[in-house]
Amino acid sequence: MSTPAPDPLATLGALPGVADAVDSVRKAVDRVYGHRVMRRRSNEVTAEAALRGARGSAALSGADWNLEEVRRRTDFSGDSESQVIGAALRLTAEAGQLLSIWRQSPLRVLARLHLVAAGGAAPEDAVGRPRLAGEPVDEPLIEAPLPDADEVAGRLEGLSGLILAGSTAPALVTAAVVHGELLALRPFGSCNGLVARTAERIVLIGSGLDPKSICPAEVGHAEQGRAAYLAAFEGYVSGTPHGMAAWIAHCGRSVELGVRESTAVCEALQRGAA
């Protein structure tokens, strides 16, 4: 009888401290889903979480706008910061429509996300596909060593294989690995951070942890700050058990802060103030 292949994601789930992070996230998510407002007005909470998540993701990509300014604006075609905000909003709107495709072809979803994010801001022949050898990457906030195109292709296939094979690992672990791996690879010529955080959102929704998409991890990533985000990401890139556990815990804390944000939205709706 052949021995089953090891599940690397489940192995990460067994790292010290990860189980505590997973348990804390699960309890936080259960609390907000149990809020009385969610029984009648969950669509409003989802819409507000999408807006706030997009604002948070854009902030980590260098466009740190006030929430009300994001809410007010309708034209995002001007300067580079406006384009980042527009890309983040488009990605958030797209995420929920790609769940069924993600389960069948994660690489198709990533290509679609880059197409949605980059739009007309990148050369047409470079949109929606992994970068080729020698092509530059515009991701100034991520300074980790950049893998070459061959390594990117191989690791993307490996990531896709992990997702398609399924795992017994908690959703938080899978989401954190997808997010971290895409940041590490920067497979596209632009918008990699935005795509990585949207992919994390897709995993959290599709796994059933956050089916209504009301727990925007992007809010928490932004609230903890860019320096903390990059420090935790260095742990992922290190590949050490301690570093990987720290990255997963950081992502878990980000989900919890997203929960806190949506809980505040629920409370405001209950008071009739939103």
Closest among 210, 221, 182 to 61, alpha carbons compared? 221
**Per-residue pLDDT, 141:** 86
pTM assigned to the model: 0.94
Residue pair 91/54 in contact (Cβ under 8 Å)? The answer is yes
DSSP state for residue 249 in the 8-state scheme: H
**Per-residue pLDDT, 122:** 65
Residues 248-269: tens digit of each pLDDT? 999 999 999 999 999 999 999 9
Alpha-carbon span 202 to 257, nearest angstrom: 18
Give the percent of the chain with pLDDT over 70: 96
Residues 200-233: tens digit of each pLDDT? 999 999 999 999 999 999 999 999 999 999 999 9
Question: Residues near 123 by Cβ (< 8 Å), separated by ≥ 6?
Answer: none
